[in-house]
Chains A and B, each alone.
Chain A
């Protein structure tokens, strides 16, 4: 018996039935809907009124909201595809394009409206909103990636964190009077960066393929 044959014997003896992963697109859609509900429930106590269809809505706000949601879906889809060896993370390019468009719409809002550029505005509140909204979504992402165990956990977690941050930003823009100033928007970006970093740092241990034998 060679070393390999002993290992193969051990592995084949421990081969219990496993449940196959559903296709990444279906998992992304289910994950998105559950996350949307969880994120919304998490920020419910903050009592932000849904202002999207209030007096402050305009084309820019709707475009920013739409691109943030699309970028979020694409990033989450890419993260889940990364959990399947041999599949390319197709959504990443689309997610990045969506994020750049979202950034552009937000910057256009800042330039056009000329609100008090250096005023703190609702920055601190928005920071809290994005982080609180993201916490349950992070947990759900880690659970979803833990099931798949991607070969490159860092990349998958970063993509998932990016999707979560974009979704939280979309929620915020649905509740936020679309009145961005520089400091406020910087706080949005800071919160989103924190969410991406937290997802990667907290999730790595649970998502990486554990070392050791079967």
Chain B
């Protein structure tokens, strides 16, 4: 992939980094053939397909969701769902309705989750420090001693990692971190929440 995202987080012109399979173009007309090849195990065709779908998927998701951080999560969720159920695509049928149904379902799920979280959960970053869970202090220290914190941070997306670094490691306030990154405070809160959830799940698996 050459670069879908420019410095502002926007989508740049698509240029496939991988050579296309012989005789197959990369435009929308080629998607059914690329998916059929991917179903047969052609990794290059699959990569080309996913790369060419990325801008389309982002546009589809952006129609439903306005939060930039959530859009990225939903696009990734859609790509993973597409991967898991790629066997359900019938090359004899149009590709776009199939893709659109997946993106739409994932976007709606994300909005529901987001709505539930907003309605029922209070995001309080200070609570993590004010009310530490002593039961887990020793495993966390052991984890740090093994140098796995860096590994855990590497599992985060660049934006999530940046948010954690500024707020948690550099002790910046949300306002300062928002000014530093250019994110809005709600977007920063969302990033922090998702990052901490992900760190917990990854940390839980590795301990």
Physical interaction between A and B: yes
**A-B residue pairs, 5 tightest by C-beta:** A17-B41, A85-B101, A86-B97, A12-B47, A5-B1
Q: Is the CB of A45 closer than 8 A to any CB of chain B? A: no
> What residues of B have a CB within 8 angstroms of the CB of A13 in the complex?
43
The answer to whether B1 and A149 have CB atoms under 8 Å apart is no
The answer to whether B79 and A21 have CB atoms under 8 Å apart is no
Report the Cα distance A15→B48, complex, angstroms: 12
The answer to whether A8 and B47 have CB atoms under 8 Å apart is yes
**Distance between B68 CB and nearest chain A CB, rounded to angstroms:** 13
Which of B's residues lie within 8 Å of A, judged by CB?
Answer: 1, 3-5, 38-44, 46-47, 50-51, 54, 72, 75-76, 79-81, 83-91, 93-94, 97-102, 105, 157-159
Within 1-55 of A, Cβ neighbours of B (below 8 Å) are at 1-5, 7-9, 11-21, 23
Which B residue sits closest to A85, measured CB to CB?
A: B101
Report the Cα distance A209→B91, complex, angstroms: 22
**Which listed residue (B3, B80, B98) contacts A213, Cβ 8 A?**
B80
The answer to whether A8 and B90 have CB atoms under 8 Å apart is no
The answer to whether B50 and A84 have CB atoms under 8 Å apart is no
Report the Cα distance A67→B158, complex, angstroms: 58
**Which listed residue (A12, A83, A85) contacts B46, Cβ 8 A?**
A12
Report the Cα distance A83→B159, complex, angstroms: 34
The answer to whether A149 and B85 have CB atoms under 8 Å apart is yes
The answer to whether A18 and B39 have CB atoms under 8 Å apart is yes
Report the Cα distance A23→B75, complex, angstroms: 28
The answer to whether A15 and B43 have CB atoms under 8 Å apart is yes
The answer to whether A3 and B84 have CB atoms under 8 Å apart is no
The answer to whether B41 and A149 have CB atoms under 8 Å apart is no
The answer to whether A4 and B105 have CB atoms under 8 Å apart is no
Q: Is the CB of A151 closer than 8 A to any CB of chain B? A: yes
> What residues of A have a CB within 8 angstroms of the CB of B97 in the complex?
85-86
Report the Cα distance A212→B76, complex, angstroms: 11
> What residues of A have a CB within 8 angstroms of the CB of B86 in the complex?
15, 18
> What residues of A have a CB within 8 angstroms of the CB of B3 in the complex?
2
> What residues of A have a CB within 8 angstroms of the CB of B54 in the complex?
4, 8
The answer to whether B88 and A149 have CB atoms under 8 Å apart is yes
Contacts A17-B39, A149-B88; A209 near B81 (Cβ below 8 A): yes
The answer to whether A85 and B98 have CB atoms under 8 Å apart is yes
> What residues of B have a CB within 8 angstroms of the CB of A86 in the complex?
93-94, 97-101
The answer to whether B41 and A15 have CB atoms under 8 Å apart is yes
**Which listed residue (A8, A83, A152, A209) contacts B79, Cβ 8 A?**
A8
> What residues of A have a CB within 8 angstroms of the CB of B76 in the complex?
3-4, 7
The answer to whether B90 and A11 have CB atoms under 8 Å apart is no
**Which listed residue (B40, B51, B102, B157) contacts A85, Cβ 8 A?**
B102
The answer to whether B1 and A7 have CB atoms under 8 Å apart is no
**Which listed residue (B41, B42, B43, B84) contacts A210, Cβ 8 A?**
B84
